[in-house]
Structure 1
Amino acid sequence: MTEPWGGVQAGMLLVATPALQDPNFADTVVLLLDVDDNGALGVVLNRPSGVPVAEVLAGWADAVAEPDVLFHGGPVSTEGALAVALLRSDDDVPVGFREVSGLLGIVDLDTPTELVDGSLSGLRIFAGYAGWGVDQLEGEIREGSWYVVPGEAADIFRDDPTGLIRDVLRRQPGELAWHSTRPADPDLN
């Protein structure tokens, strides 16, 4: 994994700002899974669907964190699925696991579940993903569409992702934390 631009790297979060114009990402928090010289790939953490994992990937239903539904990972390849997982320990890395950052990684959903059973402390499955060319994401960050902040495992596997933006911003240093209390429409303030 390289760090091609501005310190943005896998494992970090992109938090949508009010300046973001793309409706696909309004009010979202995106976990970056891959950042390299070709661009970036991530998944939206706070858009659960109403589709139970058991309906689509029955073998993985018992392995996912609550809520046990698919999450809308982004507008790219929405017919495909991507699994983000957290290892219990770096001493027990199962077949089919690819590290993203520390104990956080991606699990190949073609891996038999019995090969990962007991190795993971969290798993979430996303339908689709978000992707950017290197110049595209750099431009969106420069224009103020995204706050780039450190991520934590708890951000990915929380039971209720509705307050994720507020909680992520609240823990940031300085003025960025103030944005956690920003009204949805400042004109109504």
Structure 2
Amino acid sequence: MRPHPVRHDGDVGELRAGMLLVATPALLDPNFADTVVLLLDVDAGGALGVVVNRPSPVAVSEVLAGWGDVVAEPEVLFSGGPVGPEGALAVALLRDADDAPVGFRAVDGRLGLLDLDTPVELVEGTLAGLRIFAGYAGWGADQLEDEVEEGSWYVVPAEPADAFRLDPDGLWRDVMRRQPGELAWHATRPADPDLN
């Protein structure tokens, strides 16, 4: 996996697993408008991530018995993206990087993917956070780089708790607010700049 350096508005972000894609106001696609995407895999063949700020009304316990008590609140499935919405991806944050349960595959530090075929009792006590996503976002070779270059995404560092927030609705603004320089100004932009 080779990281892809990307420039946008003078800020440099690196397209690599563990980074966030934050939708810019120019991104009007309803699948991604106002989203924050956690990148889980980036290589020459493309990229894969999950939208971390779109909870669904479906309780995890309704579709994955036993996992409802393990996931972070709110205990619902999240809409991870338009690709494969009938499948599920589990993103986990380890309590201790040296104590990974069976079925855990590291993505970036303590953050990784967890195989949902792993017995729940084997992961209890090892996770600081777990979220289950229905579907994911995927890009072919160079597609994401092109979208960043055209101004659809900001590429920014993630914090470990971003994917596991109790209130995902405020994530877009909070991520933008913590960015350096002029990028932070976007956190206070009105929904319709023409009304400003």
The interval holding the TM-score normalised by the smaller chain is over 0.9
TM-score, reference length from structure 1 = 0.97
Q: Secondary structure at the match of 1:125?
A: strand
Shift of 1:118: 1.0
Aligned to 1:120: 127
Q: 35, 39, 42: which is aligned to 2:42?
A: 35
Aligned to 1:135: 142
**2:164 & 2:175 partners in 1: Cα distance?**
13
Query: What is the CA RMSD across the aligned residues, in angstroms?
Result: 0.9
Aligned to 2:2: 2
The answer to whether the aligner puts 1:91 opposite 2:98 as a matched pair is yes
Listed as ranges, the gaps of 5+ residues in structure 1 are none
Aligned to 2:177: 170
Q: 105, 118, 126: which is aligned to 1:111?
A: 118
Listed as ranges, the gaps of 5+ residues in structure 2 are 7-13
Shift of 1:5: 4.7
Aligned to 1:66: 73
Listed one character per residue, the Cα deviations across residues 51-102 of structure 1 (whole Å, up to 9, x for unaligned) are 0000000111110000000000000000000000000101211110000100
Q: Secondary structure at the match of 1:131?
A: strand
**2:62 & 2:22 partners in 1: Cα distance?**
30
**2:67 & 2:126 partners in 1: Cα distance?**
14
Shift of 1:135: 1.5
Shift of 1:4: 4.2
Q: Percent identity?
A: 76
Q: Secondary structure at the match of 1:25?
A: coil
**1:21 & 1:122 partners in 2: Cα distance?**
31
Shift of 1:126: 0.3
**2:170 & 2:181 partners in 1: Cα distance?**
20
Runs (4 or more) in structure 1 with deviation over 4 Å come to none
Aligned length: 189
